[in-house]
Chains A and B, each alone.
Chain A
Amino acid sequence: MSHTPIERVAASTPPAIASRVRGLSDRTLAWIFVAPTIFLLLAVNIFPLVWTIRLSLTNYRANRAGAELEWVGLRNYTRILTDPDIWQTMQATAHFLIWTILLQVLIGFTLAWLINRKFRGNDLWTTIIVLPMMLSPAVVGNFWTFLYQPQIGLFNYAVSFVTGIDPSSFSMIGSVELAPWAIVIVDTWMWTPFVMLICLAGLRSIPDYIYEAAAIDRASPWRQFWTITLPMVLPFLMLAVLFRGIENFKMFDLVVQLTGGGPGSTTELTSINLKREAFEKWRTGYASAYAIILFVTVFGLASIYVKALNKVKER
């Protein structure tokens, strides 16, 4: 008589099937279970990657599918790496990436630290703070173009109120100097709550008894922050940096809505530039090489970062 669920299933399996399954080794069974996943991975990730690498070595253009394909070797790669315009978009992306992450970590951590304290209306403030990240980036980009409008924009009026500068005398998204900061401000406004939430999770995971022990040892709040809070939240912070870094490296919708990459090419991030090459200029081979270079860059940086993150966790 069978008792366990597995034994009951085994007993109800028809003898013909049971005998066949009984003949399979553990390794074969493992392959049977893993095969669908491997097939999906190959079809959805690996095959497109290999195909993109192949296209990157040709002059293929998707809008001329019937045209003769010419094998150009590494010409697309050398063209990209020696093109000053591409380096300009890389610089714009680096500026955006560094400043958004820096500001989001600083403000996000500060907000988390404040929200972590018990005060009246704590839940309400948390909800209000996380609202921006619930909005669609395209919507956020669109309404910030109005906020930045020199004649009617609230942002310009706020700056004018604080500094006394004429609100219509400057354009946040029309000025070469200000536009890179305009996109940093909007992204920070939208995604700081995300960093805050991750930091909040980190702060709430620190057991109270550690602080109590530190207080008994007469450690000052400043020392408690540097020796307990920050080290214990650091893995969470690093995770937030990883997420935001990957997200902002491929930033597209928000910036397209805000500036369209302008003025000139001042805010043309790599993803916007890549989209222009692939789907506006239709230089598919060239764009494939561009995508591979970006993939290798992100993959390499992310791998190094994840290793560092694991080391921090092990400490």
Chain B
Amino acid sequence: MKTKGLLAVTGMAAVAGFAATGAQAEDLTLCWAAWDPANALVELSKDFEAQSGHTMHFEFVPWPNFADRMLNELNSGGQLCDLMIGDSQWIGGSAENGHYIKLNDFFDANGIKMDDFIDATVTGYSEWPKNTPNYWALPAFGDVVGWTYRKDWFERPELMEEFKGKYGYDLAAPKTFAELKDIAEFFQNRDIDGKTVYGASIYTERGSEGITMGAMDVLYSFGFKYENPDKPYDMEGFVNSPGAVAGLEYYKALYDCCVPPGSSNGYMSEGIDAFKSGQVAMQMNFAFTWPGFESDANVGGGKTGYFANPAGPDGEQFAQLGGQGISVVSYSTKQDAALEYIKWFAQPDVQAKWWQMGGFSCLKAVTLAPDFPASQPYAQTFLDSMAIVKDFWAEPSYATLLQDTQKRFHDYVVAGQGTAQEALDGLVQDWTETFEDDGKL
């Protein structure tokens, strides 16, 4: 009788435990880009496996092929991914084409409030249509284009003196794009410790999204706007405004004067290599790269400084949003377990650990904590940058809009064909054609 009772209690406990973890244990696959934060997420997810009994598998694809591979997967209704950490621009297409499940009811049922996350990340990663309370993802990884610089070079007395004598102000992290170009020119082809160094590494990649992310990062602060704020999809005079033209001319001038030789097709990894190998004084790159510099033998240990995107000629200051939200793929047969993962991931203690491991949490409880700015050398710059973000189109046709931009910008900036005005006028034509095809114009 005693044995029977013990067995019954054990059985009931097992059933209760099973119920608490959300039915049977599943094999979940999470799809994301292959990069450092993904490795951190693998480690972080071990806690989820231990708590839930589910097993996590990961499908990581290198950035240049990430969109191709994953959008093919979604468009074909594939069941490879149960969870997708997709790029912010995919949200429109994924919502309208039914690739992601809508999360509003799930958030309400589980007390997950979007107000608890950084506003820009909610708009950028979760909402479709934008600025409406329709959520298709939980902000997972906050990211933004910012700059790193060689603090140790900037602090050399002889360089500081020479710079001040030449430009009339102190050599420090630039506050404006004009200053940034001065500094880049100052360092271009300079001999430092017996090695020729260059001004800056910027995005020029042609194939996926590189040059668009880089040029837009500059254009926003020069007055570029995607459309008339009062009339959606009205782009004439906004995309190709005089300010936008000046911004694109600036980007080309920066490319022509101040990048290392052979920088005609560089994106994130090329920027990291250029900075870590001591080739450049400044580097444009997404914030996700910053933890890697702190631990690097060549540029870590206080040698690297960080600054948010500088201001344009009229004092406007914006930065290109990066980052992603985590969504449940509608074709998954394990949606309950996938939602369980999102519920676990949204917890403040998990988010705090995520930040400690190198993941850029979007939860305000983490980023607005009093000790956050001092938690990492780049933490304050991350906060400053996230406050000024803008993002590329997130329309269902974003891929067409992006490829047109890649071509127009690369043709002008790298290949030197035509003028900035022609490039942006052409872009208005391309985008207009796409929106006409979509029936939006």
Contact = CB atoms under 8 A, between A and B. Distances in A.
Interface in A163-188: 168-169, 171, 173-176
Contact of B415 (A85, A262, A280, A282): A262
Contacts of B414: 174, 262-264
Interface string A58-73: 0100111110000000
Given A173-B264, A256-B207, A280 B399 contact: yes
A168 B264 contact: no
Interface in B70-85: 71-72, 75
A281 B97 contact: no
A280 B416 contact: no
Given A64-B396, A176-B417, A262 B265 contact: yes
A260 interface: yes
A263 B409 CA distance: 10
Nearest to B261: A150
B140 to A, nearest CB: 23
Given A151-B260, A276-B403, A279-B72, A265 B97 contact: no
Contacts of B155: none
B403 A281 contact: yes
A261 B97 contact: no
A124 to B, nearest CB: 35
B72 A280 contact: no
A interface, how many residues as a size bin? 20 to 34
B410 A168 contact: no
A56 interface: no
Contacts of B417: 176, 264
Contact of B207 (A64, A148, A261): A261
Interface string B9-45: 0000000000000000000000000000000000000
A142 to B, nearest CB: 12
B426 to A, nearest CB: 10
A63 B262 contact: no
Given A59-B437, A176-B416, A280-B68, A263 B410 contact: yes
Contacts of B432: none
- Most chain B CB within 10 A, of A148, A150, A169, is at A150
Given A63-B97, A151-B260, A261 B400 contact: no
A173 B206 CA distance: 12
A266 interface: yes
B263 interface: yes
A262 B400 contact: no
A63 B263 contact: no
B411 interface: yes
A79 to B, nearest CB: 9
Given A150-B262, A151-B261, A173-B265, A260 B206 contact: yes
B93 to A, nearest CB: 7
A295 B87 CA distance: 35
A270 interface: no
B407 interface: yes
Contacts of B437: 59
Contact of B400 (A62, A265, A282): A282
B415 A265 contact: yes
A66 B261 contact: no
B262 A66 contact: no
B205 interface: yes
Nearest to A175: B264
Nearest to B415: A264
A104 interface: no
Nearest to B417: A264
Interface in B194-218: 205-207
B434 to A, nearest CB: 9
B410 A174 contact: no
Contacts of A265: 407, 410-411, 415
A271 interface: no
Given A263-B265, A265-B410, A279-B72, 18 more contacts: A63-B399, A65-B75, A66-B98, A148-B262, A175-B264, A259-B206, A260-B206, A261-B206, A261-B207, A262-B265, A263-B264, A264-B206, A264-B410, A265-B415, A266-B415, A281-B404, A282-B400, A283-B400
Query: Which 8 A-B pairs give the minimum distances between C-beta atoms?
Result: A264-B415, A174-B264, A150-B261, A264-B411, A262-B206, A260-B207, A281-B400, A150-B262
6 contacts: A63-B93, A85-B407, A150-B261, A256-B207, A263-B206, A264-B412
